[in-house]
């Protein structure tokens, strides 16, 4: 069976359980309805008790928030709505004192239209050095009134916006693969390369342990900016994704990360956000001297089906010969897992969200499967990502009133795509009604997105004492995972099973150890006789493992 290399002292990420913290929706310390660093600091003991090893923060930088902080106007500071740089420094130190590492998001593909460089580019005019840091081009048509090419934005509409020049005349166009407020940087510009290398050093020097690289395959473009046939949104064959020159950038970033790795807090890690379905192309990013890991989106997108999951798991482990595997069930861009698994089609695809939202959701079934998936995921070799609220069993909020929706995808597709607000609703901590302890008592504002009333049963307080809650399952699983040397990175061996069942052993020497059995079939299955049950995602029935249930066993 495929197996990953032995972890070295510097490779904490090979086995880590990493909590994705979406600051805006985690906890609001000052009562303005928006999560902030004070809220995070107050709840670090919650995260320590959950048993995670690291936190990945979504962007916390100054931003006009046209795309919830993915439009950055200053890469070396903290947005005032979240707090201050001094608070971030304190948070990093406090997290380290709890034994928790910090990963931050860096967004190199694009900045904000309010970034000083973009403002300078607008002011400096066509042909200037300032404009060469972005993709400015004259338009087509007799008067430059048509975009330079037919590329579409990933958020809907054209990928080009026309500017007004300083003299008031209609001017050049600039490229934005996402919202118009997110102009793409030109990575052929040495200024851009040097700037981001310095940003990396800035945060590593402050004690940050890892960088999550946003839109990591998109940075380099074909400078001839050719039309695409069919004007499809970005796919692997599109000229603006996955180009060879991007690897040179990550080789230099890796050298920077390594240069900080001997310091007090150990290795510094790079993880890429890359939505490439092609495992071989994905593998290039984790080749020698490049990124340490990439997100495993084929696993996230996979339906709740034993055959399909086994195929993705095997492909992932084959890829991980040079890099540790990662396992991820959800994040801030995709529908929440209990909703996905409660639909007739349990797969997911970012580009077809309206199709998935048309299915009715069976929440009890989805929750049952999400519990089983959590134990399956946490038993696999490598590191695991947990998106905040997944540990509470929160569902996708699909009925947010239109006038309260915030995601630019909603507006740019004219409501055809509901966007990602439904997985970003603020966490419920305590109490019987909104804001469920997300904001302090007497807060001046409501949470920035409305919380469902029914989340009263899923608050951290309600879940904490409840042996059947998702939170109790996550706490138990993370505790066992951390205290069992067989789990995390290392070898795994598939075991023969009935159709629709996944069973594998985690044993360092091929014998003894732990067995994970996930029953995705419609019938109960027997468990091995010579094994003690450590944890199951639901009760056994007459000694059998029921459908949509996973068990962890210690082999005798």
Min CB(93)–ligand NOJ separation in Å: 27
Is 429 near ligand NOJ (CB under 6 A)? no
The answer to whether the CB of 94 falls within 8 A of the CB of 168 is no
CB crowding 346-375: b at 16 or more within 10 Å, else e:
bebebeebeebbeeebbeebbbbbbbbbbb
Look up residue 126 and give its DSSP letter: T
257-276: contacts with ligand NOJ (CB under 6 A)? 273
CA angle 499, 505, 509 (to 5 degrees): 150
Judge whether 391 counts as a catalytic residue: no
Distance, in Å, from the CA atom of 297 to the CA atom of 270, rounded to the nearest integer, reads 16
- Pairing relation of β-strands 170-175 and 160-164? antiparallel
Nearest residue by C-beta to ligand NOJ? 70
Q: Which is nearer to Ca ion, 31 or 303 (CB)?
A: 31
Is 84 near Ca ion (CB under 5 A)? no
28-57: contacts with Ca ion (CB under 5 A)? 28, 30, 32, 34, 36
Q: Where are the beta strands (DSSP E) in 47-107?
A: 54-57, 101-106
Min CB(285)–ligand NOJ separation in Å: 16
Q: Could you tell me where the DSSP H helices lie in 286-397?
A: 297-301, 306-319, 337-340, 353-357, 363-379
Q: Which is nearer to ligand NOJ, 87 or 181 (CB)?
A: 181
Q: Which is nearer to ligand NOJ, 105 or 486 (CB)?
A: 105
Is 214 near ligand NOJ (CB under 6 A)? yes
Distance, in Å, from the CA atom of 382 to the CA atom of 293, rounded to the nearest integer, reads 10
Expressed in percent and rounded to 5, the helix, strand and coil fractions of the chain are: 30, 15, 55
Distance, in Å, from the CA atom of 203 to the CA atom of 23, rounded to the nearest integer, reads 18
Candidate segments 23-31, 251-259, 273-281, 496-504, binder of Ca ion by CB under 5 A:
23-31
Is 213 near ligand NOJ (CB under 6 A)? no
Q: Which is nearer to ligand NOJ, 273 or 335 (CB)?
A: 273
Binding residues for ligand NOJ, how many (CB under 6 A)?
Answer: 9
49-68: contacts with ligand NOJ (CB under 6 A)? 67
151-180: contacts with ligand NOJ (CB under 6 A)? 178
Nearest residue by C-beta to Ca ion? 36
Look up residue 513 and give its DSSP letter: S
Q: Which is nearer to Ca ion, 37 or 375 (CB)?
A: 37
Of ligand NOJ, Ca ion, none, which one does residue 333 interact with (CB within 5 to 8 Å by kind)?
ligand NOJ
100-119: contacts with Ca ion (CB under 5 A)? none
* Alpha-carbon 6 to chain mean position: 26
Judge whether 214 counts as a catalytic residue: yes
Distance, in Å, from the CA atom of 104 to the CA atom of 461, rounded to the nearest integer, reads 28
Q: Which is nearer to Ca ion, 65 or 518 (CB)?
A: 65
Number of Cβ within 10 Å of residue 8's Cβ equals 9
The count of C-alpha atoms lying within 13 angstroms of the C-alpha of 194, restricted to the half-sphere facing its C-beta, is 4
Of ligand NOJ, Ca ion, none, which one does residue 178 interact with (CB within 5 to 8 Å by kind)?
ligand NOJ
Of ligand NOJ, Ca ion, none, which one does residue 36 interact with (CB within 5 to 8 Å by kind)?
Ca ion
Contacts of 206 (CB under 8 A, 6+ apart): 88, 89, 92
Q: For residue 204, what is the enclosing H or E element?
A: helix 190-205
Is 14 near ligand NOJ (CB under 6 A)? no
Q: Can you read off the two tokens belonging to residue 335?
A: 């529908």
Of ligand NOJ, Ca ion, none, which one does residue 28 interact with (CB within 5 to 8 Å by kind)?
Ca ion
Tell which one of 78, 91, 95, 107 touches ligand NOJ (CB under 6 A): 107
Identified catalytic residue from 36, 67, 242, 273? 273
Q: What are residue 140's DSSP bridge partners?
A: 146
User: Which residues does the annotation mark as catalytic?
Assistant: 214, 273
Q: Which residues bind ligand NOJ (CB under 6 A)?
A: 67, 70, 107, 178, 214-215, 273, 332-333
Q: Which residues bind Ca ion (CB under 5 A)?
A: 28, 30, 32, 34, 36
């Amino acid at each position: 069976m495929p197996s990953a290399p032995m972890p070295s002292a510097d490779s904490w990420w090979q086995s880590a359980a990493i909590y994705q913290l979406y600051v805006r929706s985690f906890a609001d310390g000052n009562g303005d309805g928006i999560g902030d660093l004070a809220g995070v600091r107050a709840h670090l003991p919650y995260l320590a008790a959950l048993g995670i090893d690291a936190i990945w923060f979504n962007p916390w930088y100054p931003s006009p928030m046209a795309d919830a902080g993915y439009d950055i106007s200053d890469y070396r500071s903290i947005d005032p709505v979240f707090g201050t740089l001094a608070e971030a420094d304190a948070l990093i130190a406090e997290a380290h004192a709890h034994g928790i590492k910090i990963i931050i998001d860096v967004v190199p593909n694009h900045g904000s239209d309010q970034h000083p460089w973009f403002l300078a580019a607008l002011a400096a005019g066509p042909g200037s050095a300032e404009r060469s840091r972005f993709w400015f081009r004259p338009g087509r048509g007799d008067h430059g009134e048509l975009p330079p090419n037919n590329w579409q934005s990933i958020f809907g509409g054209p990928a080009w916006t026309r500017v007004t020049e300083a003299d008031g005349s209609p001017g050049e166009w600039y490229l934005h693969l996402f919202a118009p407020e997110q102009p793409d940087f030109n990575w052929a510009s040495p200024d851009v390369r040097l700037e981001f290398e310095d940003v990396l050093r800035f945060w590593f020097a402050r004690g940050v342990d890892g960088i999550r690289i946003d839109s990591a395959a998109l940075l380099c473009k074909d400078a001839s900016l050719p039309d695409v046939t069919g004007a499809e949104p970005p796919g692997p064959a599109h000229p603006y994704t996955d180009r060879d020159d991007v690897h040179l950038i990550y080789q230099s970033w890796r050298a920077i990360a390594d240069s900080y790795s001997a310091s007090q807090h150990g290795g510094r890690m790079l993880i890429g956000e890359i939505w490439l379905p092609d495992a071989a192309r994905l593998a290039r990013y984790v080749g020698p001297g490049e990124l340490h890991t990439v997100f495993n989106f084929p696993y996230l997108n996979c339906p709740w089906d034993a055959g399909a999951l086994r195929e993705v798991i095997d492909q992932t482990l084959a890829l991980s010969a040079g890099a540790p595997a990662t396992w991820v069930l959800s994040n801030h861009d995709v529908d929440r897992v209990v909703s996905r698994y409660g639909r007739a089609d349990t797969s997911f695809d970012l580009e077809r969200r309206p199709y998935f939202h048309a299915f009715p959701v069976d929440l009890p079934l989805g929750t049952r499967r999400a519990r089983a998936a959590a134990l399956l995921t946490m038993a696999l070799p490598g590191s695991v990502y947990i998106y905040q609220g997944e540990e509470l069993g929160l569902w996708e909020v699909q009925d947010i009133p239109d006038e309260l929706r915030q995601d630019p995808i909603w507006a740019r597709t004219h409501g055809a795509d509901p966007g990602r607000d439904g997985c970003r609703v603020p966490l419920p901590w305590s109490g019987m009604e909104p804001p469920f302890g997300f904001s302090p008592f007497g807060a001046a504002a409501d949470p920035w997105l409305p919380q469902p009333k029914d989340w009263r049963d899923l608050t951290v307080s309600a879940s904490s004492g409840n042996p059947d809650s998702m939170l109790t399952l996550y706490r138990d699983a993370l505790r066992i995972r951390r205290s069992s040397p067989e789990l995390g990175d290392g070898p795994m061996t598939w075991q023969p099973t009935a159709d629709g069942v996944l069973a594998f052993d985690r044993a360092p020497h091929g014998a003894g150890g732990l067995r994970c059995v996930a029953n995705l079939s419609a019938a109960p299955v027997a468990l091995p006789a010579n094994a003690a049950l450590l944890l199951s995602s639901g009760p056994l029935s007459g000694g059998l493992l029921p459908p949509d249930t996973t068990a962890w066993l210690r082999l005798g």
